[in-house]
Amino acid sequence: MPRPLKAPKPDTGKLVAREVLQELLDRIRDAGPRGIAKAALAEALGKTPRTIDRAIGVLEAQGARFGKDRQRVGNQAPVIHFALEKAPAWDSKVTPHARLALEVALLALEGTGSDAWSSPLQSLRELAEQHLSTRDKQLFEQLRDHINVRAAADDAVPLDRDVLLRLFTALGDASGPREVELEYIAANGRQSTRTVVPYTLTHDVFSGGAFLLAWDTKQSAPRHFRLNRIEALRLTGRAGILTDRALMERARDYQIGGWVSAEPPFEVAVRITGESWPAFIRETPPALPEVLVEARKGQPGVLLQFKATEFNAPTRFILQFGADAVVESPAGLKAHLRGVLKAALARY
């Protein structure tokens, strides 16, 4: 367990209150690399310039280090701007942007499942333990439970930062996900307003982008929303109510490529043959739910098995192998694939 962080120490003469030290530090930190002038600090804190000088001296005595850059505005005399280079040991805060960047990096890296990240992740975790407040840690622990990264994929359209921040706030609430209202444009261009309870962010190689899995309060069913199609999102202020949490967990665990279904999962068995596909599948098994690759003696290629809840996602995956993939089960998927191939052949 990390040691609890100590509160700011007042100066020995008790001329600068703890609250003033912390607020001064926060103001200089939030000003960024350009820094902030003494007069602006005095105005923001409602203190005299002399008190600001004294507080900065106290902070430096406690280990803080400030950059002091003389900046000129117009024809005025140059003024010293203070920028934070090093905080005192008791400081428990970093900028909101730095906190968000650090934890999202951790969530994304942990989702890669690569042992190569073990040491870097441990270093980042120690850094997070040192610099995140208790409330921040609770927020990101909640987020960790609601982000599911299976493999790399990127949306061509940048995601709206404000939408993401509100979404992270709703997902990361310590009491559980909060209800949100979102404006959404479907793939066919139809616009709608939805009231949902966000549950999981999904991002896998088959989806080609990032999705929000949420509980649709009107339909009482799980729904997937592509993040770059969410035009606006606001928090309703109400607690999120999931009337069927087990169904949401199942939808999360068995989604493939942006497709989700409320149906129970079924097992898919596909025989993969060809000159190079079997070795490729053995060396890099696809990021599919409950995937299993078997090379059986006396049988060609490899048998790829995984779970799914609907036919579209497995079909999209299987078609990439062309004639080198044969579905062994289930019968319904074989019939679905046959229909897709017949429709494709009719176009030629």
Q: Do 81 and 109 reside in the same domain of the chain?
A: no
Q: Do 246 and 276 reside in the same domain of the chain?
A: no
Position with higher pLDDT, 119 vs 342: 342
Q: What pLDDT does 104 receive?
A: 60
Which range marks the domain in which residue 53 is found?
Answer: 18-86
Q: Do 309 and 330 reside in the same domain of the chain?
A: yes
pTM attached to this predicted model: 0.56
Q: What is the mean pLDDT of residues 184-203?
A: 89
Position with higher pLDDT, 64 vs 136: 64
**How do residues 302-343 score in pLDDT, each as one tens digit?**
999 999 999 998 999 999 999 999 999 999 999 999 999 999
Q: Do 234 and 175 reside in the same domain of the chain?
A: yes
Residue 252 and residue 255: Cα distance in Å, rounded? 6
Position with higher pLDDT, 157 vs 77: 77
Q: Do 325 and 273 reside in the same domain of the chain?
A: yes
Q: What pLDDT does 102 receive?
A: 57
Give the confidence band of 113 by pLDDT, cuts at 50, 70, 90. very low
Position with higher pLDDT, 158 vs 116: 158
Q: What pLDDT does 3 receive?
A: 47
Q: What is the mean pLDDT of residues 13-36?
A: 81
Give the confidence band of 346 by pLDDT, cuts at 50, 70, 90. very high
Please check whether residue 173 lies inside any domain of the structure: yes
Give the confidence band of 4 by pLDDT, cuts at 50, 70, 90. very low
Q: Is the pLDDT of residue 11 over 50?
A: no
Please check whether residue 240 lies inside any domain of the structure: yes
Q: What is the mean pLDDT of residues 74-83?
A: 85
Percentage of the chain lying above the pLDDT 70 cut = 74
Q: Do 170 and 131 reside in the same domain of the chain?
A: no
Give the confidence band of 5 by pLDDT, cuts at 50, 70, 90. very low
Q: Do 171 and 232 reside in the same domain of the chain?
A: yes
Q: Do 217 and 236 reside in the same domain of the chain?
A: yes
Q: Is the pLDDT of residue 275 over 80?
A: yes
Give the CATH number of the domain where residue 211 resides: 2.30.30
Please check whether residue 293 lies inside any domain of the structure: yes
Give the CATH number of the domain where residue 47 resides: 1.10.10.10
Q: What pLDDT does 335 receive?
A: 95
Q: Do 22 and 67 reside in the same domain of the chain?
A: yes
Q: What pLDDT does 98 receive?
A: 53
Give the confidence band of 2 by pLDDT, cuts at 50, 70, 90. very low
Average pLDDT score, the chain: 80
Q: What pLDDT does 292 receive?
A: 94
Q: Do 248 and 177 reside in the same domain of the chain?
A: yes
Q: What pLDDT does 339 receive?
A: 95
The count of domains in the chain is 4
Position with higher pLDDT, 74 vs 311: 311
Q: What pLDDT does 148 receive?
A: 62
